[in-house]
Chain A
């Protein structure tokens, strides 16, 4: 095998390699759907964080989902959960990658709101890095101008 590879390298050594720099332009749309839209609209219009509840499995999904992953029920029971919750885990991103919503360093965390069974990914702010801890109590801070995006929750801050 090694000999074969060596043979190939030898044979091709006079040929140039070439790297083509291109761009792919494919416009895309993401549709939030009926359930996702209602979740975002409640935050935008009423600063309310809503989840969907599966009564069979006793699970509240936040962000709201249309199907229970455990029993495949279609979920249509909406419940409001608290804007306060518990930090399940976190990390700190120090490098910029061009698609982040704010400049680094960014604290990403998974927050389980009171009344929800699931955690949701968001950012934390107004917090000392030294005081960051799993189990920390946090509250949602809503953006002044809300447009129907998950960033209508600006970040979570310590209680």
Chain B
């Protein structure tokens, strides 16, 4: 293993559907300033800058070049990464590797997306090879819809369980000052009465298109201890790839495929001596584009037995006050600036470890937290954070 690396600064923008008052770089600058303020650092204290977004989504070629001045990267080293939906977690991993290697003592990592500037579904669909022709012209949402149907049929979960997840997410979002959709939902009926978007997914079953950015400052052990009294240590990051479209881009209606989530979780737990995930880990911020996806992920990250994800919801285990809180921030279903979404998962998990999440701080004491990311052809990145190593 390399040197120890900690998160010492956390910043994000508020999230909306539209931001005409800023350019893409100016929006990112807001998150960078917030992270620098949080760490009480100046731009000159940052050695390298790493950025990530979905690039083609906003039709802006090389956005990292355009925003050099606004993110304080002028005359500094750094790279841009794009790994699809996971990109905001891959950029954290990239910064982690560089600092762990000893090459840099401090690194700024940024995820961002200005979705009011593009057409995400068109971009996702255009990203597939023409081999599949019109056949997959449903963007990501069509795949998640089919996966929801599979989950329903396989496990016996009801639409009510998905609605409970949405209610839980909205409760968190309403307490999170940076969340996008704060609907103030009162009952599961409100979710069940929303119209179909892509059957069986309803409007309230799926994530919005958000505009926003999230920045983290990473530092090596000796720097981290000088910068903050509350460093959040990155204990481990695991990435697992899977080939696209073997059985649909997300999930597996055939019941024969291995999931990258399972492999990533098993690898992470084995490497870090975790034998009972929901006991050894105190909470998780997971990447759930839909409420159905969240239940499925409970199972694939081994938070429960297979086919029993919906029971965790029924028992309220994953509520903010529950034994194993999941997505107290409101999650992706409330806020989804794609390139920033996985960075926010890490940021929110780190805030929980620090005890700085404010109104949406979970009841359980969080000494260890997990953040996950899901991308295009079933890629997974999992990040493990700890209060002390």
Report A's interface with B, CB cutoff 8 A: 20, 22, 24-36, 65-70, 72
Contact = CB atoms under 8 A, between A and B. Distances in A.
A33 B26 contact: yes
B74 A33 contact: no
Nearest to B127: A24
A101 to B, nearest CB: 18
A33 to B, nearest CB: 4
B106 to A, nearest CB: 15
Contact of A70 (B22, B29, B74): B74
Given A66-B29, A67-B69, A69-B74, 20 more contacts: A26-B123, A26-B126, A27-B122, A28-B59, A28-B60, A28-B119, A29-B118, A31-B20, A31-B24, A31-B116, A31-B117, A33-B22, A34-B26, A65-B69, A66-B26, A66-B70, A67-B70, A68-B69, A72-B43, A72-B72
7 contacts: A26-B59, A28-B118, A31-B20, A31-B117, A35-B26, A66-B26, A70-B74
Nearest to A22: B130
B23 A31 contact: yes
A71 B126 CA distance: 40
Interface residues of B, number: 29
A43 B114 CA distance: 27
B21 A29 contact: no
A66 to B, nearest CB: 5
Contacts of A29: 116-118
Nearest to A31: B20
Given A28-B117, A29-B116, A67-B69, A36 B126 contact: no
A98 B118 CA distance: 22
B47 interface: no
5 nearest interchain CB pairs? A28-B59, A69-B69, A33-B23, A72-B43, A33-B22
Nearest to A61: B69
A22 B42 CA distance: 48
Interface of B: 19-24, 26, 29, 42-43, 56-60, 68-70, 72, 74, 114, 116-119, 122-123, 126, 130
A68 B70 CA distance: 8
B21 A34 contact: yes
B118 A26 contact: yes
Contacts of B117: 28-31
Residue in B26, B59, B117, B122 whose Cβ sees the most chain A Cβ within 10 Å: B26
Contact of B56 (A26, A31, A33, A36): A26
B246 to A, nearest CB: 22
A70 to B, nearest CB: 7
A34 B26 CA distance: 9
Contacts of B56: 26
A25 B134 CA distance: 13
Nearest to B21: A34
A35 B43 CA distance: 22
A20 B23 CA distance: 36
A65 B20 CA distance: 16
Contacts of B122: 25-27
A32 to B, nearest CB: 7
A36 B69 contact: no
Given A67-B69, A69-B74, A31 B123 contact: no
